[in-house]
């Protein structure tokens, strides 16, 4: 039997992000006072400490800032995914997101490669934003 993967912890600050994912939209917080786009979601803007925030839709396009290929599953639920790629993706709007690079041979992954969001229907109605090589 396959072990269940741990779901993301959703709280008042992150709910709007995960609601967007269910609708297959990447949404980020934008500070209404200074315009800073941020991720992960937080109550205050890290630049000006304003709590005035709106959600904006991101394109889903970005570039790999860095990545690691996992050959060991530190949680048994990920054993069948090995080897898998964990990547830091710089979205074209600015925020950096931690996710998985999918549809890509681990040997072909590279820093700077163009990627686009690839939605992964998870358990319990969750939809996880993962990334694949752009145009793949």
What are the distances in angstroms from CA 32 to CA 45, 51, 53, 77, 105? 9, 8, 5, 40, 41
- Considering beta carbons, is residue 38 or 63 the nearer one to Zn ion? 38
- Considering beta carbons, is residue 37 or 114 the nearer one to Zn ion? 37
If binding is defined by CB under 5 A, does position 97 make contact with Zn ion? no
If binding is defined by CB under 5 A, does position 44 make contact with Zn ion? no
Q: Which of residues 60-89 bind Zn ion (CB under 5 A)?
A: none
- In the list 17, 20, 39, 45, the residue contacting Zn ion (rule: CB under 5 A) is 45
Work out the number of other CB atoms within 10 angstroms of the CB of residue 85: 21
- In the list 17, 28, 30, 31, the residue contacting Zn ion (rule: CB under 5 A) is 31
**Of 26-34, 94-102, 106-114, 123-131: span binding Zn ion (CB under 5 A):** 26-34
- In the list 5, 36, 96, 132, the residue contacting Zn ion (rule: CB under 5 A) is 36
What does the alpha-carbon distance between residue 42 and residue 54 come to, in Å, rounded to a whole number?
A: 12
What is the contact surface with Zn ion in residues (CB under 5 A)? 31, 33-34, 36, 45, 47-48, 50
């Amino acid at each position: 039997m396959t072990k269940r993967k741990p779901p993301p912890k959703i709280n008042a600050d992150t709910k709007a992000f995960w609601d967007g994912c269910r609708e297959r939209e990447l949404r980020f917080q934008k500070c209404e006072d200074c315009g800073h786009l941020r991720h992960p979601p937080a109550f205050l803007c890290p630049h000006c400490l304003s709590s005035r925030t709106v959600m904006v839709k991101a394109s889903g396009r970005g570039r790999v800032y860095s990545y690691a290929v996992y050959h060991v599953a530190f949680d048994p639920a990920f054993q069948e995914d090995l080897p898998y790629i964990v990547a830091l993706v710089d979205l074209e709007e600015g925020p950096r997101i931690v996710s998985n690079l999918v549809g890509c041979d681990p040997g072909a992954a590279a820093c700077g490669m163009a990627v686009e969001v690839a939605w992964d229907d998870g358990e319990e109605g969750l939809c996880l934003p993962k990334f694949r090589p752009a145009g793949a």
